[in-house]
Homo-oligomer: A and B are copies of this chain.
Amino acid sequence: MPYRAAVDDFDFLLGQVIDFSALSETTRFADATQDMSRAILSEAGKMCDAVLAPLQRAGDLHPARLDNGVVRTSPGYAEGFKAIADGGWIGMSADPDYGGMGLPMSLTYAVNEMMSGACLSLQLAPLMSQGQIEALEHHASDAIKTLYLPKLISGEWTGTMNLTEPQAGSDVGALSSKAVDNGDGSYAISGQKIYISWGDNDFAANICHLVLARLPDAPAGTKGISLFLVPKFVPDDNGDPGTPNTLSVVSLEHKMGLHGSPTAVMQYDGATGWLVGPEHGGMAAMFTMMNNARLGVGGQGIGVAEAACQQAMAYAMERKQGRAGVGGTGTIAEHADVRRMLMTMKADTYAARAIALSCAHAIDMGNATGAADWTARAAFLTPIAKAFGSDVGIEVAQTGLQVHGGMGVIEETGAAQYSRDVRVTAIYEGTNGIQAMDLVGRKMMDGGEAANRLLDEIEAEIEGARVHFPNMADAVWQSCETLREATDWMVAQSDMNARFAGAVPYLRAFARVLGGHLHLLSAKADKGGPREKLARFYIQRLLPEHQGLLAHAQAGDKDLFALTTEELIA
């Protein structure tokens, strides 16, 4: 059974659960009707199924390689990227003045997720361009926008993000790349950057690097970082790729997965670049780009979860083994334990997708209305969507592998590849630990206001479902109350280490409760239908996980540091 993009799920979620229609009541997204959304999702889904999914194995078997300084991409990837570009999918949410479609992030999220499930390593290329487009739209000069945006949006050129250096990973403020003013409006950028996804390719006419570096006498830490646009070829007077810039791909990493995506070490030797945003103001621009990239990475996990789930379902319904189970076909899908795995995969993928779409919706409402509440909601949901989406991707891929039994670890099956490819999503764009610290730290600097407003809304919606599903509503309501207590506990900790010590289990529990709420809303919109049945499974079996997580979350940090270093390594 080949991959099929989950068009119906998106259509249902946008139409019945996420209140997509609220968007079409805004001026900015007045055209974003459900009919339009359905047409777009369907068109994108066809491309994912027919063009991208067949490239999944090729990237793994024939990794991107470095050939005399030039990256050679996997077979078919150039054609796949062209299909993405020609469909207009790179610039879906980009400014129409520069060739974008100006569509809501909700739809861009959906298409990005569908592409991830089809071929994650290729999908990462347009995702990087999207981040760059957004950063340039918000922070670049008109001259840069006019020259670069149309080419990035059309896919003629591609974009990358250059943050990390060997000594500066999660602590980006420790970076030491240098920028010197050339006196002609350009700067000379020098330094080495690592983990540059799609740092080079052989299908774009130019590759545009957004590079963080320090100007002379810049303040220490993140306050002294500036952002520069550094193209592979310096554009000539016509805006065409001109002189090769003084930058190079030093090497490509040997990764456990995502072999089709070239992860480069980049060297800049006085390379010509242009400032994006103010001097020393690079972090603000990077955060613009990274916030939406975080949602995108969550979607990468969820897309892989969808694909792994579909593959496991197909295998389980084909594979005969043991005495006939419930239903009598004799396939392993009718064995209770296998069915538990399949249902868990499906219910968690759905929950994570609904959370990610809620986040995208909040971004859209914030952009359309400018309301601070929506912006805060988006900011609060972003680390949850990123961490839970990628964790679900990893877990569902692992469970899918397990469904295959011995075949699961045989590479030809493809199940192992999903588990290898998706693993990095819990690490890049800020590790999931960093996401959780962001949630209980920065996102609770409001004293828990955004969290509690969300919980208030959820509880009000639960009350509306109680008449239909008293037991399910009660279970979700109880989980909400337990989460509220833990939230109060978090906010009350003035010692940030006490918060951080429980950040990861807290984030996970928050996602569990959100998932329960969104499953309940789905059940309400599909009474007696399959989404009600799936909600019952989730709420009865998976939601209770929040109890142990929230006990863990409120344990404080004292016992964490009770062991001395010597005792720890003993």
A169 within 8 A of B: yes
**A170, A326, A334: most-surrounded residue (chain B CB, <10 A):** A170
In the complex, what distance in Å separates the CA atom of A341 from the CA atom of B504?
A: 10
Contact with B along A326-342 (1 / 0, CB 8 A): 11000001111111111
> Number of contacting residues on A, CB 8 A?
98
Q: Which of B194, B253, B420, B505 contacts A256 (CB 8 A)?
A: B420
- 1/0 per position for A380-421, CB-CB distance to B under 8 A? 000000000000001000100110011011111000100110
Give A564 to B530 CA distance when docked, in angstroms. Answer: 8
Known: A420-B256, A560-B340. A497 touches B326 (CB 8 A): yes
Contact between chains at B402 and A325 (CB < 8 Å): no
Return A300 CB to nearest CB of chain B, in Å. 14
Q: List B contacts of A503 (CB < 8 A).
A: 336-337
List CB contacts (< 8 Å) of A504-556 with chain B.
504-505, 530, 533-534, 536-537, 540-542, 544-549, 551-552, 555
Asked if A544 and B544 make an inter-chain contact with CB atoms under 8 angstroms apart, the answer reads no
The answer to whether residues A346 and B568 also contact, given A169-B406, A171-B322, A423-B401 and a CB cut-off of 8 A, is yes
- Consensus secondary structure, chain A interface: helix
Q: Tell whether, in the assembled complex, residue B408 and residue A427 are in contact, meaning their CB atoms are under 8 Å apart.
A: yes
Smallest CB-CB separation from A326: which chain B residue? B561
Q: CB distance A310 to B255 under 8 Å?
A: no
Instruction: List the 9 shortest-distance A-B pairs measured between CB atoms, nearest first.
Output: A544-B548, A256-B416, A336-B500, A544-B551, A530-B567, A545-B548, A533-B562, A337-B433, A171-B322
For the complex with contacts A336-B503, A402-B427, 17 further pairs of A-B residues with Cβ separation under 8 Å are A169-B405, A170-B322, A170-B405, A174-B321, A255-B410, A258-B409, A314-B569, A327-B561, A340-B560, A402-B431, A406-B428, A416-B423, A420-B420, A530-B563, A530-B564, A533-B559, A536-B559
